Amino acid sequence: MSFLNTVHLNSVHYTEWMTPEYNSTRHDREGVARAALALLDEVGLADLSMRRIAGRLDVQPSALYWHFSSKQELLADLADRITASIPRADADVPTVARSIRDALFTHRDGAELVLSTYALGLGSATAQAALEDALRRSGAADPAQRAVALLHFILGHATLVQQRMHADSHGAMENGGTLDVTAGLDRVFDLGIRALADSGEPLSAAPTLRRDRA
């Protein structure tokens, strides 16, 4: 009976009279990706299955394979959407680094997703380029390699922090002093970024004070 109902709703002869307002259940690549990203925030990467995404769209699992050739391709698309949200500003290295981290934090398990996807692809080339530009402007040595090192640190750090956040939230917090664990990790991030941003020999002998603002 329930399936009869469904059949009836869907059998709206797909012909000329089917105007946009009658179209409800059919999706495009964009719609699938957006639904998947929303679902990611609700259930997390481990529980983001093709079947669940399909269920959210009121569609059979096999329908997703018209839009994406595999789950891997879908995940790569999501990773690209996350890294694409990095603002492209003429900021200094710590600011760019923080904006990359914040983009990863925008979605649940975002860091892990981008990390898993990064190796295969040109995804997060955006992030790498932004870091390299900022480094070049600051006059740092070896800006290209330094950008890669910064990106690896940001991805590793963000992945670990995001995991820890999720574990602490509905997990076993057996440690009494876990209150400031995130605050401590924030200082670790700043320390790491600053160390990777400027070090080494060349340019300006004065170490501490660059930056002429105020």
Cβ at position 111, least distance to its own copies in Å: 9
Region 22-61 residues binding DNA, contact defined as CB under 7 A: 25-28, 47-52, 54, 57-61
CA distances from 10 to 2, 7, 35, 164 (A): 13, 5, 20, 44
Closer CB to DNA, residue 59 or residue 91? 59
Query: How far apart (Å, rounded) are the C-alpha atoms in residues 53 and 64?
Result: 8
Q: Which does 120 bind (CB under 5 to 8 A by kind): DNA, its own copies, none?
A: its own copies
Query: How far apart (Å, rounded) are the C-alpha atoms in residues 60 and 53?
Result: 9
Closer CB to its own copies, residue 67 or residue 164? 164
Cβ at position 8, least distance to its own copies in Å: 41
**Which residues in this chain contact its own copies in the complex, by CB under 8 A?**
115-116, 118-120, 142, 145-146, 148-149, 152-157, 159-160, 163-164, 166-167, 171, 184-185, 187-189, 191-192, 194-196, 198-201, 207-208
Euclidean distance between the first and the last CA atom of the chain, given in angstroms as a whole number: 72
Query: How far apart (Å, rounded) are the C-alpha atoms in residues 52 and 161?
Result: 26
Q: Which residues contact 111 (CB under 8 A, 6 or more apart)?
A: 104, 105, 155, 158, 159, 161, 162
Task: Return residues touching DNA (CB under 7 A).
Answer: 3, 6-7, 10-14, 25-28, 47-52, 54, 57-63, 65-67, 69-72
